[in-house]
Amino acid sequence: MSERKSRLFQSPTMDQGSFHGFNDYASYLTSLMQGLNLSNNYQEEYALPNQYQLSNAASNYTLPNQYQLSNAASNYALPSQYQLSNAASNYGLPNQYQLSNAASSSSSSEFELPTWNIQSPATLYPSTAGRITDDFVISNRINRITLLEDICIDPYTVMLDQERCSEFLKLLQNCNRTVLNHILRKMAEFPDTLLIFTSCDSHGSRVLKKLINAARKLPSVSWFPRIFSEAVVYLMNHKQARHVVQECFVSLDTFLNEPLYEEVMKHWCELAINKYGCISLQYCMDYMDSSPVLSYDRMTYEPSLKERLLMDISYKAAPLALDIYGNYVLQHVLVMNYPKCNQVISKELRPLYEPLCIHQRGSFLVQKLCGTQFRTCVAEELLKSNMLVKIAQNQYGNYVIQNLLKEMKEHDVLLYEKLYKKLLRDFPTFEGSLFGKNVANLIKDEMRGDEASGYAVQKWQKEVVRQQGAAKFVEKKKKKEFSC
């Protein structure tokens, strides 16, 4: 064997110097390649074991069955759940994810991507879910159409219906101008008294309030203030209907609300003494136009409706201050801070400061007046009164005295000193009372603050405090002797 090997791999005897050009070298390579052709005897002598020999046409190795290639090498012998189906179109996936026959075929001339056949959600999800969704959408659409048809026939019936009232409110949230105009025109065909009756209903007032807000920019909305002005006292004094009128004040323009304002000017006194009317009247005062009106006849500016209304209320301050609900209207006028009105109110209430200070609602009114520039009227009247100590000891009056002291110290020092002296004379009297001690503590805190801040404390203040301290010492000494 070694001799055959040596003969086989021996090259023809040719030195490097014997190459003459490319042709000689090519002939050398050719003879070398011919020498590499093995004979049949050599192949038999060096035959490999059976498991490593090649099969016919060297197409397959003798591998185990599970690794051998099938016909035309199309499939491996995989388990059945992993084998490819016909024409290798689908993997072993669930039915809803497999390709259809049309998507599995591909032409030999051109490669085509499979077109996935995505089935409807009804096969992927429970059929009941899709059916419920479709029924819900369809039912809402049908209900909306039915609701619009009923509104076009009789809108007031829908407003007064407790069950359909909420549906009407949802409809108004997404209504366009055309639908709103049609609703308003249809409502105008009915008697005006039906609108007033619907405003007094709890469900109807909610719908009308939303309707006015939604249609506030439409010209046809001016129909509401005109109708409401015919029964303004009844509506503004009603528990439910007042919300509709208040929505007119808030949402609509001043020009559209002029019929309402004019009627309020005539009947404001009836509104001010009512439980719900006083609230509606305050809304009216807030949203009325305060700009003066030009008189073309006299060529001068006249007071606005708002100023005229406030002045009328101010001149009736005395009876309103003693009324349960009129008191709140008068407080609202003071908060609006019109100087002319505040001056009139302070003069009208001069004889009533004493009884108002010891009354719950009246004390609030006097405190509001102490916050204006006419607080001096209150201080002067209380200095003349013999009830100053009684007011300081009262459950409500002590807050009036505290508020007045703070305001007078900041704005009028002379009156503050007079009031301070008068209170210090009877200091021991109200210092030990339940509510009077609040005023006494305020006086002590102010004196300590004056000393700490470097302000000179007057001699009369120190003398009064010294006398009070001596009086307390004598009282304590008497109590000890009595106990012994």
DSSP codes joined into one string, 123-145? HHS-HHHHHHHHHHHHHHHHHHH
> Looking at residue 76, what DSSP letter applies?
B
- When mean pLDDT is compared across 138-142, 220-224, 301-305, 453-457, the lowest value belongs to 453-457
The pLDDT tens digits for 251-290 are 999 999 999 999 999 999 999 999 999 999 999 999 998 8
pLDDT cut 90: percent of the chain above it: 45
Going by pLDDT thresholds of 50, 70 and 90, the confidence category of residue 58 is very low
Phi, psi values for residue 301, rounded to 5°: -90, 130
- Is residue 53 packed enough to be buried (19+ CB in 10 Å), middle (13-18) or exposed (0-12)? exposed
3-state secondary structure of 116: coil
Average pLDDT of the residues in 29-46:
50
For position 283, what pLDDT does the model report? 95
pLDDT for 35 = 52
Look at residue 86 and tell me whether its pLDDT is greater than 50. no
Q: Helices 326-336 & 277-287, crossing angle to 10 degrees?
A: 20
Mean pLDDT of the residues in the chain:
76
For residue 448, name the pLDDT band (cuts at 50, 70, 90): confident
The alpha-carbon radius of gyration of the chain (Å, integer) is: 52
- Given this model, what pLDDT does residue 300 score? 74
- Looking at residue 473, its pLDDT comes to 56
Q: For 216-237, write each residue's pLDDT tens digit.
A: 999 999 999 999 999 999 999 9
Query: Is 418 exposed, middle or buried, given 0-12, 13-18 or 19+ CB atoms closer than 10 A?
Result: middle
- Dist. CA 147–CA 432, nearest whole Å: 71
- Average pLDDT, integer, range 117-127: 44
Domains of the chain: 146-292+301-336 (1.25.10.10), 349-484 (1.25.10.10)
Q: Are 183 and 140 in contact (CB under 8 A)?
A: no
